[in-house]
């Protein structure tokens, strides 16, 4: 029997690939997605909560939103908020999935507060080669844009670029092609699991002291037939 799973959703390519692998799996049944946010944006991606809701609607999945008091609350506060948010989600699930890729202690950290709450932690992408995963994202036609760039690691000019083979070829050799060290963050606008797409009208790139964010207006476009 398939296990019910809820997926941690950042709006980007890693959570999308995680979701699609689970949808295709014979072992899991995806019952929803959840995201943490500060005010009306997802931290790091700076994705407006309204766009996250568009993605959930295109996925035809329930969305659980968990408000944070700060970008970096204490571990105790963060863990408590996530666990309480999932418990109050009114969804039945036994597993919580994350799109982490590197074996750098993050899996142990997530298990430390998810599993005592009674759920199993799963990591469909963990330990896989970044180049392989990047190629899979592109081959699957997961259309995604770089919306955040860490100016200390890559050029700010990468903001607003589509994630494709041309972009991968231009990344510095010391940059992970999936941005798993935080070099960049992405927004998915179209994928096989969506019943349509999100159209972006780019406005400006907002430069902070370290991070740059692509700003845009988003519009949801539906298709008559959902692609599977």
Residues 6 or more apart from 208 whose CB is under 8 A from it?
none
pLDDT tens, position by position, 139-163: 999 999 999 999 999 999 999 999 9
pLDDT tens, position by position, 160-172: 999 999 999 999 9
Provide the Cα torsion 191, 193, 198, 200; round to 10°: -20
Entry pTM: 0.95
* Residue 25 in tokens: 């799996």
* Residue 142 in tokens: 């997961």
pLDDT tens, position by position, 40-82: 999 889 999 999 999 999 999 999 999 999 988 999 999 999 9
Measured between alpha carbons, how far is residue 218 from residues 14, 36, 46, 145 in Å? 21, 20, 13, 13
Q: Which domains does the chain possess?
A: 3-222 (3.40.50.620)
């Amino acid at each position: 029997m398939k296990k019910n799973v809820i997926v941690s959703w950042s709006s980007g390519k890693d959570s999308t690939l995680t979701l699609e692998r689970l949808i295709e799996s014979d072992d899991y049944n995806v019952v929803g997605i959840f995201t943490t946010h500060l005010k009306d944006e997802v931290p790091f991606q700076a994705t407006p909560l309204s766009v996250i809701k568009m993605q959930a609607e295109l996925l035809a999945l329930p969305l659980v939103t968990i408000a944070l008091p700060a970008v970096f609350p204490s571990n105790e506060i963060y863990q408590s908020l996530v666990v309480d948010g999932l418990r109050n989600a009114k969804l039945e699930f036994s597993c919580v999935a994350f799109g982490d890729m590197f074996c750098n202690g993050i899996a142990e950290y997530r298990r430390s507060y998810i599993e005592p709450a009674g759920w199993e932690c799963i990591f469909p992408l963990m330990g896989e080669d970044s180049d392989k995963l990047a190629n899979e994202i592109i081959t699957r036609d997961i259309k995604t844009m770089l919306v955040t760039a860490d100016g200390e690691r890559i050029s700010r000019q990468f903001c607003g670029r589509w994630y494709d083979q041309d972009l991968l070829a231009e990344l510095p050799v010391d940059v992970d092609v999936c941005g798993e060290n935080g070099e960049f963050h992405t927004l998915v606008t179209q994928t096989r699991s969506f019943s349509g797409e999100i159209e972006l009208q780019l406005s400006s790139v907002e430069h902070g002291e370290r991070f740059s964010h692509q700003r845009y207006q988003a519009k949801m476009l539906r298709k008559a037939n959902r692609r599977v």
